[in-house]
Amino acid sequence: MDKNTIWGMLLMGAVILGFMYMNQPSAEERERQARELAEQQARADQLSDNGDILTLDSVSSQERATVVNTVKRFGTRDSVSGTYTLKAQGLDIKLNADGSFSGNVNAGGTEVPVTAILTADYGTIPQTTAAAAVKQFKKAMADVARYEGFAAYLSGDSTTVRLENDVLALDLSNKGGVIAQAALKEYQTYDSTAVCPIASDTDSYGFILTSARQRFDTRQFYFTPVMESDSTVLMKLDLGDGATFGIRYTLPQSGYTVKMDVVQSGMDAVIPPSVASMDFTWNQTMARNEAGRMFEERNSAIYYMFANGDVDNLKETSADREELNERVKWIGYKNQFFSAVLVAQNNFTSATLDSEPLESGRYLKSMSTESTLEYSATHANPASFTWFLGPNSYPLLSDLEKEIAPDDNLHLTKLIPLGWPIVRWINTLIVIPVFDLLGRFISNYGIIILLLTIFIKIILFPFTYKSYMSQAKMRVLAPEIKEINEKYPGNENAMKRQQETMALYSRAGASPFSGCLPMLLQFPILIAMFNFFPSAIELRGESFLWAKDLSAPDAIWSWTTNIPFISGTFGNHVSLFCLLMTVTNILYTRINMQSQPGGNSMPGMKWMMYLMPVMFLFIFNNYASGLSYYYFLSLLITIVQTYIFRKVVDEEKVRATMRENARKPKKKSGFMARLEEAQRRQQAMMREQEKQRGKGRR
């Protein structure tokens, strides 16, 4: 360390000591500090209880003046006596016309007079109670200053008001002014309780307003219920000075919708005019309604529709989060068969949606919404909404769109997953109308599925017949195709063999692909039914034969342990309709293989075809029994059709017709001409390659 450094450190020390000396308290200040310390110690000694030292804050004269101003500003004035009354959390204080105080503070169930706190004269009140009373008094006054007129509603007794119609029962809670429970009268869960799209133990929603100093969350306040009519309840907060805020609920005489209006007056005295938005938050822990957890979980998600009409949803099988930075018309928490959907009259300006699957128990997913709405403190009705709390029934949702927004297409039917666009059209234009029509006259849904299957088979009959005739032609040509294969064996004759085979098809008027198109046209209907049955709430709880619920698996044998690798799809049971479908599918595969020309000459393909029905057993075992029942009937009818075709179609006549076609002059189509030209070029190229290889060997 050099000399300059040492002198620098000494100089810094001198500066610090000089500063400390100049700023030390004077004798008068030291005496005042000692006196205040002694007073604090005396109060602590006074509040000593069983050796425990309690700190009791007093109310200073300045704080007393603040209390007077706070009570006058936020309290209710009696025009006759001139008394101001203010109620807050555990506090009921009165400021009399002569400037004196009265009232009590509730400290752990004990009423302590306000005057005792303000004068610090507790008499025989225990020290612990006095300390708690002072703490509660100061907290209540701080909350009043913080929450302004809302503070009077931070405490209260929870009560509910019921609104009810023919299908929906609402319990409205004064805590938060919310729908505490919405019970569907006509539906029950798997454990025989009412289905509740909103329930007090699973749902929480509220509005958040922002003033210059504070955010007000309506979930924290106790509203005053006002019955405006038999169908309308207003949850109201009277904030003083003519300012009121409320949430009005209106339940129609019938149906699953609830009107929710935010109403207010004089709120510009509480919320600054510069505030142009209001937040809405909604949290739900989605409870199970169905016995089959796996399929219900796969069909549960948060759905939403943008203002432009596009409908989307969060992932069903994994955690997902979306930040929507454009206007949103509605947000829905969709279960397999039931939904809670909130439709905004003037759209949400933005929203953040979050969904997370829950591993086990009676709950499926944790869902949350944080959204923003336009707001003005001067508008009497700053926001309006319509709740849909009901079943995912296509006819119901379709009619509901016209009721809620006659001029807009809300696309609420998108809550029902009916497949890709072409598949959805089949379901909405054919399957659902026929299913709904049959349901009006027939009460047994097993019979309805049978009639629906027959109807679909009648529609598909021309395609099925054409496919069978194509197979018959190929069987007739099978011997001649075999001769061509024997005449031109080996890879070197592959091109010639193909040319001769195509020429045979052309002369006979047959095509190996003519049977594929009819099957391809039937495929969308098969997929449509695959999407329709698991989503048809009409099947929920409907029994048929041994199946107690056509919307759930018809288990005839169950177990508790999980089978490795397959329990996730197969489940812990065996479904009888699925088993019958599998047996019928194997039988149909055998019949179909026998109908194919040369079907018995490919053993590898044969076993592959038999493996497919077994795979379907593992796929469909956990699906709705109504779906397995439909596929079972469809396969059974197809087998009957095949045997009828065999009896009706004379293959000798088919052969004669094909011979007659072969005698007729054929004009080559442009496609066939191009195909033959391509074959000739390829054959010439192969001959040239053979010559080149021969020269190379020499």
Question: 5-19, 200-214, 522-536, 605-619: which has the minimum mean pLDDT?
Answer: 5-19
State residue 303's pLDDT score. 98
Note whether 149 and 295 are same-domain residues.
Answer: no
Helix, strand or coil, per DSSP, at residue 73: helix
Is 284 exposed, middle or buried, given 0-12, 13-18 or 19+ CB atoms closer than 10 A?
Answer: buried
Using the predicted structure, report yes or no on whether residue 84 has a pLDDT greater than 60: yes
Mean pLDDT: which of 64-73, 168-177, 477-486 is highest?
168-177
Reported confidence tier of residue 41, pLDDT bands at 50, 70, 90: very low
Using the predicted structure, report yes or no on whether residue 694 has a pLDDT greater than 70: no
Domain tally, the chain: 4
The domain in which residue 409 lies consists of 160-415
* Residue that is last in its domain, among 397, 415, 433: 415
Reported confidence tier of residue 471, pLDDT bands at 50, 70, 90: confident
Note whether 400 and 493 are same-domain residues.
Answer: no
Note whether 282 and 409 are same-domain residues.
Answer: yes
Quote the tokens at residue 8: 């620098």
Quote the tokens at residue 663: 């005698």
State residue 314's pLDDT score. 96
Report, as an integer, the average pLDDT of 104-115.
87
pLDDT: is 344 or 595 the higher one? 344
Using the predicted structure, report yes or no on whether residue 324 has a pLDDT greater than 70: yes
Residue 643 domain-assigned?
Answer: yes
| CA separation, residue 194 to residues 165, 188, 253, 392, 540 (Å) | 15, 4, 20, 16, 14
Note whether 484 and 605 are same-domain residues.
Answer: yes
Residue 338: CATH number of its domain:
2.70.98.90
Note whether 146 and 170 are same-domain residues.
Answer: no
State residue 48's pLDDT score. 38
Reported confidence tier of residue 679, pLDDT bands at 50, 70, 90: low
Question: 213-217, 378-382, 442-446, 633-637: which has the minimum mean pLDDT?
Answer: 213-217
Report, as an integer, the average pLDDT of 622-635.
91
State residue 389's pLDDT score. 97
Q: Half-sphere exposure (CA, 13 Å, Cβ side) for 90?
A: 21
Q: Which of 281, 286, 289, 336 is nearest to 184 (CA)?
A: 289
Note whether 50 and 170 are same-domain residues.
Answer: no
Note whether 122 and 216 are same-domain residues.
Answer: no
- Spell out the SS3 assignment of 551-609: CCCCEEEECCCCCCCCHHHHCCEEEHHHHHHHHHHHHHHHHHHHHCCCHHHCHHHHHHH
Residue 626 domain-assigned?
Answer: yes
Q: How far apart are CA 571 and CA 439, in angstroms?
A: 31
Residue 532 domain-assigned?
Answer: yes
Residue 428 domain-assigned?
Answer: no
* Residue that is last in its domain, among 415, 437, 471: 415
Note whether 648 and 689 are same-domain residues.
Answer: no
Residue 385 domain-assigned?
Answer: yes
Reported confidence tier of residue 227, pLDDT bands at 50, 70, 90: very high
Quick one: what percent of the chain has pLDDT higher than 90? 41
Note whether 632 and 698 are same-domain residues.
Answer: no
Residue 610 domain-assigned?
Answer: yes
State residue 15's pLDDT score. 54
Report, as an integer, the average pLDDT of 506-533.
75
Q: How many residues belong to the chain?
A: 698
Report, as an integer, the average pLDDT of 324-352.
96
Residue 311 domain-assigned?
Answer: yes
Q: How far apart are CA 629 and CA 446, in angstroms?
A: 8
Using the predicted structure, report yes or no on whether residue 558 has a pLDDT greater than 50: yes
Note whether 463 and 402 are same-domain residues.
Answer: no
Report, as an integer, the average pLDDT of 430-435.
93
Note whether 369 and 266 are same-domain residues.
Answer: yes
Q: How far apart are CA 629 and CA 627, in angstroms?
A: 5
Task: Check: CB of residue 470 under 8 Å from CB of residue 510.
Answer: yes
pLDDT for 290-304, tens place per residue? Answer: 887 888 898 999 999
Using the predicted structure, report yes or no on whether residue 669 has a pLDDT greater than 60: no
Residue 664 domain-assigned?
Answer: no
State residue 43's pLDDT score. 45
State residue 44's pLDDT score. 41
Report, as an integer, the average pLDDT of 83-100.
86
Note whether 111 and 224 are same-domain residues.
Answer: no
* Residue that is last in its domain, among 153, 170, 204: 153
State residue 463's pLDDT score. 82
Using the predicted structure, report yes or no on whether residue 139 has a pLDDT greater than 80: yes
Reported confidence tier of residue 47, pLDDT bands at 50, 70, 90: very low
